[in-house]
Amino acid sequence: MNLTRPCGIIVILFAMLGIDSTSATKIYNVLNFGAKPNGETDSTKAFLLAWQAACGSSECTMIYVPKGRYLIGSVAFRGLCKSPHITFRIDGTLVAPLDYRVLGKNTNWISFGGVNGVSIVGGALDAKGSFLWACNIPTLTVLLEPRIHRLKSLNSQMFHIVINGCEKVHVQGVKIRAAGNSPNTDGIHVQSSKNVNIIKCSIKTGDDCISIGPGTKDLWIERVICGPGHGISIGSLGRNLKEEGVQNVTVKNNFCGHSKRFEDQVMG
């Protein structure tokens, strides 16, 4: 597999970027495209319109999501983009529909594919997974990619973050939360990817905190808090002869802890 191509994400960043970061960055506020921060009005189209504007610009761009709750259905943000760098700055919360069947008709909730130079900064994703866990029906994976910084993923219906077919991904300061008895809610899943760093993250979920699948190479995991959860696992390998193995995984200074004070020390 050629991992130099743009990431193909299956779905959710570095120092926090200010909204007035530089005059060279063109800002697209989702409110100007019709998004409603009330958590009830479907804002999927507004987010897509903001993405199309940012993607089509020849400048560095920022899609800005102000405080509030934004109802988002299944959405795919695709390239190829003219913009050399797109920052998704989220100060609010993206909320999935209460009816899990809406997302069950699609492969993913939020996905990015065929793009380079994308950062996702701050905010939260609330996938309303508890409505699905009771039925134990696998329906979607939440997918995100290259730079993920200080994002919070809540109650994913299945995997929270999946990194698939990507290179040079940096995940830092991410918090993942799901009930300790929630099924198949792996925190971060990595497969068919190279040079992935997962640093200073706090993962509390019902399945693996970090799961490592076929084709993973040069993975660095450091100062990750896990609990509740099943820890860090390498598995489901060798199901067919064409599947790649796992190479060069480093796990360093990780912790099992629960207190906020301990979490602040690890992630600070």
- % of the chain residues with pLDDT over 90: 34
pLDDT at 130: 54
Q: How many Å from the N-terminal Cα to the C-terminal Cα in the chain? A: 37
pLDDT at 260: 67
Residue type, 102: V
Give the mean model confidence (pLDDT) for residues 165-187.
84
pLDDT at 257: 66
Q: Which two tokens stand for residue 99?
A: 């009816």
3-class secondary-structure state, position 73: coil
Q: Specify the residue for token string 């597999």.
A: 1
268 pLDDT more than 70: no
Q: Could you tell me where the beta strands, DSSP code E, fall in 2-117?
A: 7-8, 25-29, 38-42, 60-65, 69-71, 75-78, 86-90, 93-95, 110-115
pLDDT at 107: 63
Residue 103's pLDDT band, with cuts at 50, 70 and 90, is low
Cis peptide before 228 (omega within 30 of 0): yes
Question: Which residues have a Cβ under 8 Å from the Cβ of 89 and sit 6 or more positions away?
Answer: 17, 19, 62, 63, 64, 65, 121, 122, 123
Residue 225's pLDDT band, with cuts at 50, 70 and 90, is very high
CA 109 to chain centre: 10
Mean pLDDT: which of 67-71, 107-111, 232-236 is highest? 67-71
* Least reliable range by pLDDT among 110-114, 131-135, 172-176, 203-207: 131-135
Report the distance separating Cα 260 and Cα 268, nearest Å. Answer: 11
**CA quadruple 216, 219, 225, 230: dihedral positive or negative?**
positive
* Least reliable range by pLDDT among 84-98, 118-132, 136-150, 151-165: 136-150
139 pLDDT more than 50: no
pTM over 0.75, yes/no? no
pLDDT at 186: 86
Q: What average pLDDT is seen over the chain?
A: 78
Phi then psi for residue 188, to 5 deg, are -130, 125
Give the mean model confidence (pLDDT) for residues 138-165.
67
Q: Specify the residue for token string 């995984």.
A: 249
pLDDT at 137: 32
Number of other CB atoms surrounding residue 5 within 10 Å? 12
Residue 248's pLDDT band, with cuts at 50, 70 and 90, is very high
Cβ atoms 119, 12 nearer than 8 A: no
What are the residue numbers of the active site? 230
Domain parsing of the chain, residue ranges: 159-268
Q: Which two tokens stand for residue 40?
A: 């009830």
pLDDT at 184: 76
Mean pLDDT: which of 57-66, 102-111, 153-162, 238-247 is highest? 57-66
Cβ atoms 135, 129 nearer than 8 A: no
Residue 183's pLDDT band, with cuts at 50, 70 and 90, is confident
